[in-house]
Structures are given as structure tokens and as C-alpha cells.
Structure 1
Amino acid sequence: MQESFSAVDEVDLALINALQVTPRASWAQLGKALAIDPATAARRWERLREVGLAWVTCVLGPALHTYFCMAYAEVACEPARLDAAGDFLARHGSVRYVYHLTGSHQLLVASSHRTPAEVSGHLAQVLAAAPGVRSYRAELRTVGFGESSRWRLRSLDAAQRGLLAGGAVDRRGGGSAGQSPPALGSEGAYQELYQLLQEDGRMPFAQLARRSGVSEPTVRRRVKLLLDQRLLRLRCEVAQSVTGWPVTAVLWATVPPEQLDVAGRALTVLPDVRVCCALTGPRNLMLVVWLRTLDELPALEARIARQHGVVVVDRAVCLRTVKQMDRLLDADGRAVGFAPALLAPAAAQQGAEQEMGDTGLSPADPA
């Protein structure tokens, strides 16, 4: 396994980059873009996935982002029980990320919930129950300006990106606070596909159909609908240690409220920024960045501080990522376990019980 881990070459990285752009691209499309045989692309991907260096998963899409609460908790732990606390929290279904950080709060825990009341229950029943937790402070995300699925390796040239562009659909739109989520129809079918695609976002349609107990054309229609309506989003993840950007840092900043939206959108386009979101509390902007070296952090911080009244008031370096979305990671960032989300937010409102297949979509439409 160690031999496979060390044998990551430029073709592997280009393949991962291509799947970041088009997570369910065919092997033929990937082979054409990378100038390799489709069978070679499939074999290389299977090796990367088997050793936990890369994987395709599924997350809730932008159309649902305003219908759930994302909480970020900074947790102070007893030193001797830090690992136990991190492992305990990482295995909980509502927890998306667990970072072991420098600073006075040793863990940063990101979790998603349907309501603020559920956040309260999580803090009281899960976070406070974790072994060795001394204290915590939590804030809610108010606006997400940029998410991790935007981040890309830079292994493809312009021509290769052009060959893949047909599979990368720009799906605009999304919900606004107070509106109902887009009607999906059968919520049970939605939940099941969400969970299967979390397990493997490239799971073949035939296997998705077999495991969900419906026909393959129906699965194709449902997956297309979920992606087209931006209810779900597929994303290719990679072990950070092989990316060339092995350092994670978290920055907290203050921004005048009237400048927050402009600053957040400006910072999101910086190539090293993976997450940029507004928070409740006096530190109203948080960024998660990936860097090539630790000494890049001061220069990046200075660049951030030149944006629209942004004042960086605290920073921490991630010593280890314990969980990244639904994967448990080892010290090298390889996926070694699976702890998926318990449930997605309700996607169907009352009166929307019709089958998702009744959408006018052709069974032949690709996902």
C-alpha cells in the first residue's frame, strides 16, 4: 500500500484535476482529454481510490444551502484526550470537518443541521459529550461565498480544460431565505441517491439502480434532476499531501457589514482559498486556505487585508485534518473510513409527492 501511495505522477494528478471539473465524465472523455487510453484512466483511478488518495463524493448543492444551518465550533480539549475527542466527533453524522489546529482551541468542528434548535442540541448532546472537551465557542454561517468544491489542482492545460468543458455545467440560481426548497417529489428516493453518491459519486448507473431498487432509466433521470436543480453537487476530493499544497490555514477577520458581501466575493476568487464564509459574532468572516509552504501565509494575509476593509484578527494552522466531509482521514490525508451524513434537509414540501420521473426528462439524458 505504501508503494501505491508514493507512486503518484503527473498523469494521476491530471486525472484528479479532470474529475474535479467533471466528476462523472466517461472514461472515454477523460482518456481523450489526458491523451491516455480509457482503460488506463479507469485503472489509475481505481488505484487512487483504493488507497484513499482520491475519491468522488456527493454534497448538498447550492439550492439547499439556505435551508440548513452550518455551525463552526472551536473546541478546547484536554491534551491527553485530544485524539479521542477528534475521533468521537468525526464519526458523528452531522459533522462535516474536524481540524486539529494550533492555538488556544485545538479543534475546529464544522457541522450541518436543519435548524438553530438542532445546533443547540448538537452542542449540548454531542460536542459537550465528547471525551476531554473543556470548552467551546460556536458561530453560525450566515453567507457562504465559496466552498471547497471550487478548489482545483492546476495540472490541466487550457486545451485539456476545453475538452472537458462540455461536462462542466454552470448551474446558476438557488434559494433565498424564507423560500421553500425546490420540489423533488419522492424524498425517500432523493435521500437514497444522496447516500449512495456520498459513498461513491462515480457509482455506475446500473449499480445505483440495483442498490436503490429502481430501473436504470429512472436513476438516470433522478440523478440528472438532482444535479440540474443544484440540490446535490458531486465533487472529487484528494489527499492534501500529494497536491503540492500541503498546508491548511484558517483565518478569521472582521469586515464592516456594508463591505462584507463585496469582500467575501473578492476573496473567494483567490486561488488558495477553499472556504470563505460570513459568520455570526465579532469575527464575521472566516477563510480556509491551502498553501504550498507555511511561509506563504503572511503574504496571503497581507493580500487579504488589502480587500475592502478586511482586518485579519486571528489565524491558525491545521496540524491534521481528521475528517473532510464524509471521509475519515489518516495523518497523510488519505481516506481510511466513511462516516456519511445522517440525513439531507427535506427537499420535498407538502403536496410534492409526484414521482421524479414525471419531469419530461428523457431516459437517455446523461447525468
Structure 2
Amino acid sequence: MPHESVDEKDLELINALQLTPRASWAQLGRALALDPVTVARRWQRLTEAGLAWVTCVVGPSLHSEFCMAYIEIECVPDRLDDTATALSAEPQVRYVHHLTGLYGLLAVAALRTPAEVSGYLRGLVGRLPGVRAYRAEMRTVGYSEPSRWRLRSLERTQQRALEADRAPSATVGGARVDAVDRELYRLLHEDGRMSYAELTERAGISEPTARRRVKRLLAHRLLRLRCEMAQSLSGWPDSAVLWASVAPQHLEATARSLTAVPDVRLCCALTGERNLLLMVWLRSLGDLPRLEATITERSRHLTIVDRAACLHTVKQMGRLLDSEGRSIGHVPPDVEVFPNI
């Protein structure tokens, strides 16, 4: 499916699913002024082409229950592809980015404890044949994550129509996670819009149980659904990573202010001297200096100390991506980072 065949209604549909990932075809049809059957057919066409998909990630209520390691890797030049492929096959690795600069790969891994991060770095990353050197930092606070990034294709009236159908959130906390919940996480990670009938069959539970469990996991923010798309289709085809240094007493306020910058997809605090990381999507790499100026103007306490262009995102939250950002494969998640609380 060439990009030329994707029209404004397709982009509106993706935007709608960014807002309400499990909305019914009827709800989506009302918001987009389309027949529900047409909406379903459009979505099937997009997903089969790898241009858009809905997945599931561990929600913010559990972010303190595991560790995120940001690992920069210097590779032997002719082994970079092999190293990226090996890392992408690992269920603990959520992202693999090929970057400009000395450290040609940036991998993001989720593990349960700092000791597990240590073992992972020494036992896997450090022993990959193509790895010449690596350095790693731990995420301390996540301020903004990619699931909050939106296309801007919908009119405000369409957004309101979808928001009116959204179920209210329950009080956060108090929920426990068991083996059934982990299986639902695995299945929704594969397809966040998987029907309750299929969830019932594959998880070996009744449909009322599947409905109740999924709604509870989402309402308590134990899981979060997100609609992703091929970056080349988004209108922001280029991306970059920025590392900044901020005085600790100003870090919180600075990071919170940067989450309001539309091009910022990810903002998180890290250990180390470069204690703030930003992942940005750009309409062109030529916009990077302008964006850096915007960022530095927002806080006199921030200094950008390093930057790299992203040449290719190889893996993104379990999806293997081609050079255009299309989904070409799926790696099941490590459900053990979805703990019993």
C-alpha cells in the first residue's frame, strides 16, 4: 500500500484511535462521518500495510515497579546491523534506534531491578560480537511518553464527539495483577484492538471476564493502549535525540515546561551529567536548530550538551520497523515486568 493511497480520512482515523484506541467502529464512524463498515475496512487496510497499529504498554501506575535503561552502544562498523537485529529480538528491549555519532545505537530496555540491569549489560550487551563499547543511564522520572503525541487531523468537534464516548477512569491503585492479566497484556500488545471474542478464545476465559479485566487494567492505568503509525506517514518524518544538563533544583519545572512543546515526543530524566533526554519528531532536520532554540528559550537553566539524528528506528515497543517506519514484525513483550502488586 503506497503512501499516496493514504488520504485525509485515514489520517483522521489514526488521530481518532490515538485518542480512543478501542473505540467501536460505530463510535469512530460517527466522529468521522463514515459508515462503520468503511471505517473497519480502512483500518484493516492500514494495519495490513504496516502503516498503523494499536498496541499496549505497561501503564504509569506500574512505572515505579521496573527500571528503564538507556544504553548507547558503539559498534564495529560492519556489525551494526547484526547488533541491532540481536537487540531487537530481545523481549526486554523496547526500542532500538540507529543514530548518528560515535554511539551508533541507542537501545532502551525494561528490567525489574538495577541488579538485573547490571546482569543484562554484562551478560548480553557487553558480549554481543559487534559491540565495541557501551554506556548506560537509568531513567529516574518520565515526564512525557510517545503515547501522548498526536496527529492534528481532527477538528475540535470531532475530538469532542470521541471524548463524549470515553469511559471515565477509575480511582488509581488497589488493583492486583495475576497470570490472566499478564496474558491479556501479551495479547493486547500484539493487537490493542483485538476483539473480546478473540481475547476470550486465546486467553481461555469467558467474554464477561475478558471485558471486566481489560476495563479494570485500563481504568487503573496498569495498562495503556497507544495507536502508532509509520513515521514517514505522519508529516514529521525525521527525528532526533537531545541530551541536556539541568541543575537538579530546576529539573522538574524545566522538564514539565518542555512537555508542552508539540514536537517533543519523549521527555525523561536520567542519571548522569546529561540528566534530561528528549526525543523529538521533526518536519525536517533543518528544523532542529529552531527547535533547540525554542527549548533553550523556555528555560535558562537548561544546556543542550549532545544531539544525534535518528537514521532508523529498528524497534519500537515490540514492533520491528522498516526504513519507512512500517511495522514488519512483532516481538512479544517480557510480561515479567508486569508485576504482581
TM-score bin, normalised by smaller chain? over 0.9
1:337 correspondence with 2:336: no
Q: Percent identity?
A: 57
State the 1:5 CA deviation: 4.6
Partner of 2:80: helix, strand, or coil? helix
Q: Deviations over 1:111-162 (max 9, x none)?
A: 1011001101111122123231100000000000000000001100101101
Supply the distance in 2 between the matched residues of 1:222 and 1:296 (Cα, whole angstroms): 44
State the 1:169 CA deviation: 5.6
TM-score (norm. length: structure 2): 0.97
Q: Report the counterpart of residue 291 of structure 2 in structure 1.
A: 300
Supply the distance in 2 between the matched residues of 1:260 and 1:17 (Cα, whole angstroms): 31
| CA contact 1:183–1:348 (8 Å) conserved in 2 | no
Q: Report the counterpart of residue 153 of structure 1 in structure 2.
A: 151
Supply the distance in 1 between the matched residues of 2:154 and 2:255 (Cα, whole angstroms): 27
Distance of aligned partners of 1:346 and 1:13 in 2 relative to their CA distance in 1, 3 Å threshold: closer
203, 207, 213: which is aligned to 2:194? Answer: 203
RMSD: 1.5
TM-score (norm. length: structure 1): 0.90
Partner of 2:110: helix, strand, or coil? strand
Distance of aligned partners of 1:168 and 1:290 in 2 relative to their CA distance in 1, 3 Å threshold: farther
Q: Report the counterpart of residue 257 of structure 1 in structure 2.
A: 248
82, 90, 96: which is aligned to 2:88? Answer: 90
Q: Report the counterpart of residue 42 of structure 2 in structure 1.
A: 44
Q: Deviations over 1:182-226 (max 9, x none)?
A: 4425x1011100000001000000110111111100100000110
AA aligned opposite 1:166: A
| CA contact 1:75–1:106 (8 Å) conserved in 2 | yes
Q: Report the counterpart of residue 207 of structure 2 in structure 1.
A: 216
1:272 correspondence with 2:270: no
Supply the distance in 2 between the matched residues of 1:134 and 1:169 (Cα, whole angstroms): 50
1:283 correspondence with 2:271: no
Q: Deviations over 1:67-91 (max 9, x none)?
A: 1100001100011111111111011
Q: How does 1:25-104 map to 2 (within 5 A)?
A: 25-104=23-102
| CA contact 1:103–1:316 (8 Å) conserved in 2 | yes
Q: Report the counterpart of residue 356 of structure 1 in structure 2.
A: none
For structure 1, the residue ranges without an aligned partner over 5 or more in a row are 175-180, 350-367
Which aligned segments of 4 or more residues in structure 1 are displaced greater than 6 angstroms?
none
104, 107, 111: which is aligned to 1:106? Answer: 104
AA aligned opposite 2:70: Y
Supply the distance in 2 between the matched residues of 1:88 and 1:129 (Cα, whole angstroms): 11
Q: Report the counterpart of residue 352 of structure 1 in structure 2.
A: none
Q: Report the counterpart of residue 119 of structure 2 in structure 1.
A: 121
1:323 correspondence with 2:323: no
AA aligned opposite 1:259: H
1:232 correspondence with 2:230: no
1:310 correspondence with 2:311: no
Partner of 2:240: helix, strand, or coil? strand
State the 1:346 CA deviation: 4.7
Distance of aligned partners of 1:182 and 1:91 in 2 relative to their CA distance in 1, 3 Å threshold: farther
AA aligned opposite 1:76: E
State the 1:6 CA deviation: 3.7
Supply the distance in 2 between the matched residues of 1:208 and 1:348 (Cα, whole angstroms): 21
Supply the distance in 1 between the matched residues of 2:58 and 2:109 (Cα, whole angstroms): 13
Supply the distance in 2 between the matched residues of 1:37 and 1:28 (Cα, whole angstroms): 8
Distance of aligned partners of 1:218 and 1:85 in 2 relative to their CA distance in 1, 3 Å threshold: same
Partner of 1:306: helix, strand, or coil? helix
| CA contact 1:57–1:198 (8 Å) conserved in 2 | yes
| CA contact 1:63–1:173 (8 Å) conserved in 2 | no
Distance of aligned partners of 1:167 and 1:327 in 2 relative to their CA distance in 1, 3 Å threshold: farther
Partner of 2:298: helix, strand, or coil? coil
Supply the distance in 2 between the matched residues of 1:255 and 1:170 (Cα, whole angstroms): 37
Larger CA deviation: 305-314 vs 54-63:
305-314
State the 1:173 CA deviation: 7.5
Supply the distance in 2 between the matched residues of 1:13 and 1:272 (Cα, whole angstroms): 18
182, 200, 203: which is aligned to 1:191? Answer: 182
Q: Deviations over 1:248-288 (max 9, x none)?
A: 10000000101100011110111111100000000000000
